Structure formats: C-alpha cells, structure tokens
Amino acid sequence: MKTYVITGLGNIGREYAGTRHNIGFEVVDYLALKHEVTFQPSRYADMTFYMLKGRKIVLIKPSTYMNLSGKAVSYWLQQESPEQFLIIADDVALPLGTIRLRKKGGAGGHNGLDHIIETLKTEEFSRLRFGIGNDYPKGMQVDYVLGRWFPEQVPVVTERIQLAAKAVEEFVLGGMDNAMNKYNKMPETI
C-alpha cells in the first residue's frame, strides 16, 4: 500500500486559530472533515489518516510551532516511510487565494519551510504554497501573517481551501506533474 504524508503548517493554540499563517492547518482540517476522520494528539503533531483509492493519506499538523516544523516532518517521514510527501504553507508573495504546487524550492522567507529544509538537509520536496496576499503596511508583515482574515477575504479563502484539498488529492492519485498542470493554471484571483 502506498502511503502519502501531507503536512499542513501552522501554529498550535487558540490565539493562532484562523490566522493566515495557519492556512496549512485549515487545508488538512478540511480534508479530515471531508473524509470524516478526526485528528488525535501524537508525537510532535496531531495526526489522522484516511484511505483514498487504495492509498493511505496521513495528515499531520505539527505541534512544534511553525519555526520547528522540521522536527515533526522528519519524525513522521521516519514513522510512515511514505511514497511521497507534501508540505502546505502560506505565502505572502502570492496573491490571495493563489495555489502553486512545486516539486522543490527554497524557503522564500518562510520559517516553517526553512526549518524543514534545514532538518531534512534538502530542498527537494513537494509543496503547495497558498497565497495569502501582502495587504499590509511596510514593516507589518508579522502582524499580517499572524493576523486573522479580513471579512472580505473569507469567501475567497473558503473556496480556495476546497481547491487546495482537491490539488492535494490530485497529487496523491495522479502525481505532482498532473497536479501542477491542473492547479497551477488556475486564475490567480477569483
């Protein structure tokens, strides 16, 4: 049986719930809800899994906080020995709601991705970058990223979380090339 580990990046705790930096958590939460599975606290992460057409999809939400995400990713890759794995992260460089899948790449200033690269000692891993926009004054990036969605952003984000979940399942069922061809061509904004 082929196993896939899908990691949504975010920060644990009520004060971070619903923030832009937690979009990775929101995408895996949506997948868990859709497939009627429940996250359970486990080592370095909340974890659950479901079966999709003979494939085991392991969803994790690191409980290490964003800046130490590599610890959770490394542990669960060792535990599950997946066929492939995918990291879902927010990206201020992309317009709100834009989804970009990549087979590899740098951290782009994202502390969670940076720690994963540092821990795994490679940039060669698949990721789904979810655009959160950059609608903030100079010097206010941290407040924006750790802030909650503006009311007018919520409908776009809700719709794009569902789209990102479809992209994740396309990655599992059809491979990264198919997922990139299908979902990277989507309009940047809706």
> Which residue among the candidates 21, 35, 110, 115 is catalytic per the annotation?
21
- Cα torsion 26, 5, 178, 51: sign: negative
Maximum pairwise Cα distance, the chain: 49
Contact 90, 144 (CB under 8 A): no
Contact 129, 94 (CB under 8 A): yes
How far, in Å, CA of 80 to CA of 55, rounded?
A: 13
How far, in Å, CA of 142 to CA of 38, rounded?
A: 31
Torsion of CA 107, 110, 115, 121, to 10 degrees: 0
Query: Hey, is 67 helix, strand or coil?
Result: helix
Residue entry with tokens 């903030």:
136
The single-letter DSSP state of residue 151 is G
21 is an active site residue = yes
CB atoms < 10 A from the CB of 7, how many?
Answer: 29
How far, in Å, CA of 54 to CA of 38, rounded?
A: 20
Residues marked active site are found at 21
